[in-house]
């Protein structure tokens, strides 16, 4: 394993954040399907987000398994349909390592877990308009009431906090947005992260361990792990102009318990 990349031990979850970059050597780490998806993005910023998330995920997984990034294989399982093309929650083929990644604005997050299925979500803080547009579809009645209690200037950040927590849970279970986020109720934005209620939740019911993460200014992020309580380590990674993974930047690795 690269000496710079911490090992994820049994019962642990690690989350890496990075700024999105577009460094051509990273394209060589992707497989043909990933490269085709990358090429299909119209906006350069979307290509950078996709490339950074997929290259970083491959490098982190490869380091844990002791293989090259190009040797990492994923399988994707959809809980909601049997469409033949790969889609749904990604898993590492042939390993117990669980993973999830997310991209938003100019940042990416990659979570690896040996504690149980994991979902990570990063969201750029949006304006008041987005809150008004999405509140009814995303928030439960309890959450809408809590959000309205916040000072007006706090509501956009509060909404994004809710959104990141709920999407992290739905990514951990593999449901994604095929389950209406408004069926879930999570704790108020200024309270410690927790899943409080999930109406009409399908079996099996593993405990959901939810944790907020520091994703950088202008972003909110959360990670959900299904199963037993586990420590969560947070790291900041970055890329040099030649595609070298710099990891971690000193002084920003923190630990928390979920």
Ligand X SMILES: CC(C)(COP(=O)(O)OP(=O)(O)OC[C@H]1O[C@@H](n2cnc3c(N)ncnc32)[C@H](O)[C@@H]1OP(=O)(O)O)[C@@H](O)C(=O)NCCC(=O)NCCS
CA-CA distance, 1 to 22, in Å (whole number)?
25
CB of 149 to ligand X, least distance (A): 26
CB of 108 to ligand X, least distance (A): 8
Report 133-152 residues binding ligand X (CB under 6 A): none
CA-CA distance, 162 to 244, in Å (whole number)?
34
Binding mask 159-188 vs ligand X (x if CB under 6 A, - otherwise)?
A: --------x--xx--x-xxx----------
Nearer to ligand X, 36 or 136 (CB): 36
Report 44-63 residues binding ligand X (CB under 6 A): 50, 53
CB of 37 to ligand X, least distance (A): 7
Q: b or e along 56-94 (b: 16 or more beta carbons within 10 Å of the residue's beta carbon)?
A: bbbbbbbbbeeeebeebebeeebeeeeeeeeebbbbbee
142 and 160 Cβ atoms separated by less than 8 Å: no
210 and 111 Cβ atoms separated by less than 8 Å: no
Binding mask 90-119 vs ligand X (x if CB under 6 A, - otherwise)?
A: x---------xxxx---------------x
Structure-block tokens of residue 89: 């929650």
Report 213-252 residues binding ligand X (CB under 6 A): none
CB of 151 to ligand X, least distance (A): 27
CA-CA distance, 19 to 87, in Å (whole number)?
25
Tell me which residues touch ligand X (CB under 6 A).
50, 53, 78, 80-81, 87-90, 100-103, 119, 121, 167, 170-171, 174, 176-178
């Amino acid at each position: 394993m690269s000496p710079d990349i911490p090992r994820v031990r049994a019962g642990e979850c690690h989350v890496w954040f990075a700024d999105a970059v577009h460094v051509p050597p990273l394209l060589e780490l992707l497989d043909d399907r990933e490269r085709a998806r990358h090429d299909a993005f119209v906006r350069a910023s979307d290509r950078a987000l996709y490339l950074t998330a997929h290259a970083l995920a491959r490098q982190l997984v490869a380091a844990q398994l002791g293989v090259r990034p190009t040797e990492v294989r994923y399988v994707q399982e959809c809980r909601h349909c049997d469409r033949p093309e790969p889609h749904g929650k990604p898993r590492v083929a042939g390993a117990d390592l669980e993973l999830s990644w997310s991209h938003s604005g100019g940042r990416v997050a990659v979570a690896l877990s040996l504690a149980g299925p994991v979902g990570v979500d990063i969201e750029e803080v949006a304006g008041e308009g987005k809150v008004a547009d999405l509140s009814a579809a995303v928030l439960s009645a309890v959450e809408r009431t809590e959000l309205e209690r916040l000072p007006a200037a706090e509501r956009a950040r509060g909404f994004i906090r809710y959104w990141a927590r709920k999407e992290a849970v739905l990514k951990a279970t593999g449901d994604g947005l095929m389950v209406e986020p408004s069926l879930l109720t999570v704790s108020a934005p200024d309270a410690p992260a927790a899943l409080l209620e999930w109406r009409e939740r399908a079996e099996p019911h593993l405990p959901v361990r939810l944790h907020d993460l520091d994703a950088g200014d202008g972003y909110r992020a959360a990670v959900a792990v299904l199963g037993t309580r586990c420590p969560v380590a947070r790291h900041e990674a970055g890329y040099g102009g030649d595609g070298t993974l710099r990891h971690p930047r000193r002084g920003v690795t923190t630990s928390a318990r979920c």
